[in-house]
Structure 1
């Protein structure tokens, strides 16, 4: 499938009465009348392209994505002359080269807080400190793995069954693993599942050679089994996955380990109440990358960023494609300022779509991680793209999501973030405070989220730990 178009199997359910309900695609395979209409749908065209970039840019390049509704204010600062974006076919995007990286390396000390670095939005959520409060010395965070404690996750979903967030079927979850001739994990193997009724699912294995399969997310007919094909480096293997089987389905591919490559993308809510988290990310990025670079696998690291606000703000979405320039990326982060907002939901769905669909993720053998930092849920009243559309595309492109819930994130936002992490094999991360009802009290170990049995660390240390654990699963490349 490398270089070919691939597609997720089904769209997510639009909220009842939304304008996007008319976007439903026609069904091509009869399904039981009891199956939800959205699950009976079949896509008639691909909705994502397999990752195929061979390298990353020398410097970050800004692409401004306007709000299609037209409710956007002109930028306060000129962004420079527009340049055509040749790698994308969307005429409404303009690319602007980021400033050239400075000659000396960027210092590792926290960047000074610029006048007006917090914009017009301020704090939105009850109990949250104003956005212009000086950044705390540390940002603490806890983490849960909803796939490791799946029963607790199912109980969480059941408690929120009445949420307006579209339900994501997880019943019948199964694990598939791909290994080489020596039994070592094969990362980034392309996986295709096919049912007799025509339902299909596309996925890619993670650094541990595995992928979680949720049959109910793409097959409305409860098919008894699926034909499975896995491919990488011109090799392929086939097997059959029986619905409900307990043993892990393991397939073998006679491929050789490849040098570690890591695409690490940050998806950041840049509205007013996110000032502290953005400042911490800005201050610690170089240290994070330096520690990742020193890992035993010595990965070739490329960095990308997507920041977003909401309709009517100074900007809607800005993205910087993957680049191997740490200094240039640090300079981009130095220019990301928190501002805007207003109502609680933000343009998270649209920004996630940009990150998954329009960044130049590298191809075969790459470990792809997306760290999403947000303190508000997505708008459900804007129509497509839905987060579940992007979730399916992320699974097919082999993008693992680590969702970070910042202060003020409500239960609806937690549900979205945990869906993204669980389905792609990632983790749900949440900031912790001395008093979760009053984050101004400073970092601590408590949270308002529905989690248990977690440890606490500083956010940057936790990010490095997760990347280290992911890359540690890769088999060593034989010395020549």
Structure 2
């Protein structure tokens, strides 16, 4: 007889309630950015200013990319079974909270082979183990992601620690040559890490579990990875880790706190941490941590395409810890640089919260007098129009502009 999981039944019931609330028009307020556009006619050296007002929605962070990252070594069978069984329900519940949410899957075991470092030597993994792989790039298709999770198979591992450092490094790098997860540039980036062991590192938290040999998989070479360094790089990139630690040991707790909420003097990524007592806790734990990640904006600021950053000044630089349905105001000033060529210049000013775009003010500046912008080349055809005596038009398309940020 199949055991009835009462926590799972409660979780599924909660999913249904949340989904029904989402369908109610008054259930949630969306974020707003005003004005939607601003235009001015300015000669080189002249300035025009406006107020940009940003109001957060019921869920302050409106978009999120969430990557389920799973330790597939033999001791994780119970957790993996639970994630497989509940994956679609977890994603459905998250999407009810964050409608613009997308999901991906990455997994790992460890480096296959024997490694020797000062003070530690052991077999890291068996011959068919993998240090990192992307099982599904970020997508809005919950079914595809659930299928990828349910296709995972258990590897071996050998020694106790795992290569969490390498996994975090690859998620940050997002390099197609080594497995790109496909983060969007307009969403908050969240890693949900499942595991039960400490990381390979020579000294983190006072433990020596051998180094992480990096991409070349050779010990003590230039590309070896350091846990605290990699975690610091994720923090700088705005990637948050929510950690599900099923190890039940001080060593695993140090690693999982170290990549999320911080451990001792290591700041972590500003994420969330949960110590798992049993696998059926996973659905509620993951949903609670994701809700915590999107319930407040750690830093709300404005972003301008690189080509126009010397045109725009705004104050304040940003706002910290912005909650739901909260209004903040930026004073934005646009100054046309000396020597700017005559023409129409358009660009977006994006309001962003923890990497998620809340909204945009489209700026259009007409420059009536002629000059030259060193290093700025109009699109093909505009030069010909200028040669005919027509005002040149330089248009930075929205997509290209965001990619340049």
TM-score where L is the length of structure 1: 0.40
More strand by share: 2
Indicate the structure whose relative CO is greater, using CA pairs within 8 Å and at least 6 residues apart.
1
Q: Which has the larger radius of gyration?
A: 2
